[in-house]
Amino acid sequence: MPKTSLYNASSQPRPYRVIISGGGTGGHIFPAVAIANELRRRQPEAEILFVGANGRMEMTRVPEAGYPIVGLDIAGLQRRLTPQNLLFPVKVFRSVRKAGKLLEEFKPDAVVGVGGYASAPVLLAATSRNIPALIQEQNSYAGLVNKLLSRRVDRICVAYDGMEKFFPADKLVLTGNPVRTEIASGSRAEALEFFGLSPDKKTLLVIGGSLGARTLNEATAAALPRLKEAGIQLLWQTGKLYYPKAAEQAAPFAADKLQALEFVQRMDLAYAAADVVISRAGALSVSELCLTGKPSILVPSPNVAEDHQTKNALALVEKDAALLVSDADAPAQLYDQALALLHDPARQQQLRQNVSRLAHPNATTTIVDELLALMDRA
């Protein structure tokens, strides 16, 4: 039920107003948009405003999803002494002040932080005003902003067990990460036809993210003759920057169904076609692998804060739900392991069963349940 805001002198109820803050990467932006979509589905009159960091990808991706966004001049600390670091306290102060003014104008019933630079000023300003606040932490190793603000917020929705080592246990709710449920609904027959693949061959899917992953791309390029010899089909998502080179490298193997793709629009069909997946270990990639139940080899990126992709991967490996190859070992070991797994149906089935048990198909619904409960109690 719509509620009467603490800020509204009138007794007449009005639609909920929610601010969703954060971004910087697709791993933050997609959960934010998924939460907004589910809230709007259940509360069509709800007013939703995003707050992001100027110059970051959310400033274009969020409007493309149909939501307004306001930008803050905030950025993270660099790992070396730079002029930007000297300005960091000033930017934080200004961003918190701007966030406070925004809260006074928009009068939200709750604020959601999904991680990223912009979530800190908004959550600080909101909790200082006793506005209900919820954090959605995607990774198995909590981000710095979320750890610092965890004692100020009301609820923390997490995707992994054991997060009480980072957060107050009484605020935790294990929800999983918001993932497009349709990602697991692809038909294998449709997928094989869509990509022009043979039903008589095993298929390997390699995913490096929208920007690609150099280690995965170089290892895959080197392995093309081995994949041809083994009779394996390949869907190789290269990312934009590497695609021209990859397309040239894959061209001699086109007849062998070894395909380089800049971007995969129909990921549901890519997963449906795949017998085995090689992937980075970003939070959403891992959640998609759980939901689709795919045997995978995870190659965590070494270029992320707190090495959190390795920790995401280990959360699966420790439950025998995925294999792990380090970025440093990938050139020498990745395709030995990939070919061994592709030729071991029993091991594939074991991984498939174990990873499927870790899926949270109702994550977005559960997060919005928690959000609505916070607003109803305020």
Alpha carbons 131 and 344: distance in angstroms, whole number:
54
Alpha-carbon distances of 276 from 32, 54, 337, 347, rounded to whole Å: 29, 38, 11, 11
Query: Is 183 in contact with 277 (CB distance < 8 Å)?
Result: no
Query: Is 322 in contact with 297 (CB distance < 8 Å)?
Result: yes
Model confidence at 1, pLDDT cuts 50, 70, 90, reads very low
Q: What is the pLDDT of residues 320-356, one digit of tens each?
A: 999 999 999 999 999 999 999 999 999 999 999 999 9
3-state SS record for 197-240: CCCCCCEEEEECCCCCCHHHHHHHHHHHHHHHHHCCEEEEECCC
Alpha carbons 198 and 195: distance in angstroms, whole number:
9
Q: Is 27 annotated as a binding residue?
A: yes
**Looking at the predicted structure, is the pLDDT value of residue 118 above 90?**
no
pLDDT at position 108 is 97
Q: Is 11 annotated as a binding residue?
A: no
Q: Is 139 annotated as a binding residue?
A: yes
Tell me which of 3.40.718.10, 1.10.150.120, 3.40.50.2000, 1.10.3720.10 is the CATH number of domain 17-178+361-377.
3.40.50.2000
Q: Is 145 annotated as a binding residue?
A: no
Q: Is 36 annotated as a binding residue?
A: no
pTM, entire model: 0.87
Does the domain spanning 182-356 belong to CATH 1.10.357.10?
no
Q: Is 293 annotated as a binding residue?
A: no
Q: Is 285 annotated as a binding residue?
A: yes
Tell me how far apart the 2 most distant CA atoms of the chain are, in Å.
74
Q: Is 180 annotated as a binding residue?
A: yes
* Distinct helix (H) and strand (E) counts, the chain: 14, 13
Q: Do the domains 182-356 and 17-178+361-377 match in fold?
A: yes
Q: Is 284 annotated as a binding residue?
A: yes
Taking the domains of the chain in order of start, what are their residue ranges?
17-178+361-377, 182-356
Q: Is 286 annotated as a binding residue?
A: yes
Structure tokens at 307: 């090495």
pLDDT at position 282 is 92
Q: Is 340 annotated as a binding residue?
A: no
Cβ burial 127-164 (10 Å sphere, 16+ → b, else e): beeebbbbbbbbbbbbbebbeebbeebbbbbbbbeebe
